[in-house]
Amino acid sequence: MLVDKRILLIIGGGIAAYKALDLIRRLRERGARVRVVMTAAAQQFVTPLAAGALSADRVFTDLFDREDEHDVGHIRLAREANLIVVAPATADLMAKMAHGLANDLASTVLLATDRPVLLAPAMNPAMWRHPATRRNAATLAADGIAFIGPNAGEMAESGEAGVGRMAEPTEIADRAAALLAPAAKPLAGRHILITSGPTHEPIDPVRYIANRSSGKQGHAIAAAAAAAGARVTLVSGPVTLADPAGVTTIHVETASAMLAAVERALPADAAIMAAAVADWRVAREGTEKIKKDGSGLPPALALVENPDILATVGQLGPARPKLVVGFAAETENLIANAQAKLARKGADWIVANDVSPETGVMGGNANTVRIVSKDGVEDWPLMDKAEVARRLIERIAAHFAP
């Protein structure tokens, strides 16, 4: 529960702001003390008077309030709370957070805080799907910002349906309580080995064979495992992501280098092979840039198969991790291919996902996965990759629980 916890609720400007009034009630029912900051746009939907009456406290709206700012009030608001909840978190407010802008009280508080932050996004489905919003959400998640929602449903203002509805107040209050609960460390004492990203297989000094993997899912899993108390070794191919906090990250380029790093990192309690390893490399890497010869024909490139890292780990014998989890990125026959991979590679679970171009999974911020094991197939709904990671780590922790 939230007894005596101080929650700073930032209400953004969207039609879902009316739900924020109910959220104040739900937080106070759980024992929280609630202070409210409202953006100028939020005041077009609900009034400070209503928010103040429900919170039994003053509502803060102005960065340049003479009474508050004599003692740097925005810093005080940012630091006195145990948790900051932004509901609704509009696309505009998320963009300000992602880019470090601070031009009103809400964005200044969010930039100045060192406390946990929970966002409840709410916007039109097209705005939520827009690449700019997806990039901003991924940046915020990588910065450690927690998310709840958005949910699927009909939009209040337009009648459109899709993903964009703000999570319900009870859901947000429950998530706030979970974030402030004493941190559970179910994987404390465990060593989790994770691979992530693509590999680059050189053709010559300037060209290579690769794929579109961004490493977002593998890095999110590493961060979630560290948050669960595990000692985490992440072997990462070339990505543009920051190394997850609290994780030992080993950077490699090729499949052979990734396998060598994995073998050096063993033993481990669990191995999660999320990297999209190139299946082939050229048999003979050019020492100079390959030039056109004027014939109009491409050079002949002989390919050889790369080492199979998942199969190597899955079939180690006595040194094998107690749990081996592989990934299957498929464009057809998803379940059949994942089940065949499970048997062929010696894995315990396969996390299967459809990476057809229309899904946007490869390189994107969301994922729909199925957990394939000897016990059957478990379907998971569409989620942000950070939420997929959190649930996967919860499942792994349950596997190791006495």
Q: What is the pLDDT of residues 356-370, one digit of tens each?
A: 767 777 667 778 899
Closest among 111, 100, 28 to 77, alpha carbons compared: 111
Cβ(74)–Cβ(43) under 8 Å?
no
Cα dihedral 203, 208, 210, 216, rounded to 10, equals: 140
- 263-288 pLDDT, tens digit per residue, is 999 999 999 999 999 999 999 998 99
Whether residue 308 is annotated as binding a ligand: the answer is: yes
Residue-level pLDDT at 72: 47
130 alpha-carbon distance from chain centroid: 17
Instruction: Decide which of 294 and 326 is more confident.
Output: 326
Task: Supply 36's token pair.
Answer: 């409210």
Using alpha carbons, list the distances in angstroms from residue 205 to 197, 210, 257, 279, 290: 21, 14, 17, 20, 9
Residue-level pLDDT at 268: 97
- Average of per-residue pLDDT across 329-350: 92
Whether residue 307 is annotated as binding a ligand: the answer is: yes
CA 306, CA 328: separation in Å to the nearest integer? 17
Coarse DSSP helix, strand, coil percentages of the chain, rounded to the nearest 5 percent: 35, 25, 40
Cα dihedral 99, 100, 106, 108, rounded to 10, equals: -170
Whether residue 375 is annotated as binding a ligand: the answer is: no
Decide: pTM greater than 0.95. Answer: no
What percent of the chain has a predicted confidence (pLDDT) above 70? 95
Q: What CATH class has 191-286+297-400?
A: alpha beta
Q: Is the pLDDT of residue 214 over 60?
A: yes
Res. 160 pLDDT band, cuts 50 70 90: confident
Whether residue 279 is annotated as binding a ligand: the answer is: yes
Closest among 138, 163, 159 to 151, alpha carbons compared: 163
- CATH 3.40.50.1950 assigned to domain 6-180? The reply is yes
- 286-315 pLDDT, tens digit per residue, is 899 999 888 888 888 999 999 999 999 999
Radius of gyration of the chain (CA): 24
Give me the half-sphere count of Cα atoms (radius 13 Å) on the Cβ side of residue 359.
17
Instruction: Decide which of 67 and 40 is more confident.
Output: 40
Residue-level pLDDT at 151: 85
Task: Supply 371's token pair.
Answer: 């957990």
Range with the poorest average pLDDT among 64-78, 305-319, 327-341, 370-384: 64-78
Residue-level pLDDT at 184: 75
- 104-115 pLDDT, tens digit per residue, is 999 999 998 989
Same fold, 6-180 and 191-286+297-400: yes
Domain boundaries, the chain: 6-180, 191-286+297-400
Using alpha carbons, list the distances in angstroms from residue 397 to 91, 226, 286, 323: 34, 12, 46, 11
CA 253, CA 288: separation in Å to the nearest integer? 19
Mean pLDDT rounded to a whole number for the chain:
90
Whether residue 289 is annotated as binding a ligand: the answer is: yes
Residue 229: count other Cβ atoms within 10 Å of its Cβ.
18
Cα dihedral 374, 377, 378, 381, rounded to 10, equals: 150
Whether residue 348 is annotated as binding a ligand: the answer is: no
* Active-site residue list: 211
Instruction: Note the residue count of the chain.
Output: 402
Q: Is the pLDDT of residue 120 over 60?
A: yes
Instruction: Decide which of 143 and 258 is more confident.
Output: 258
Whether residue 5 is annotated as binding a ligand: the answer is: no
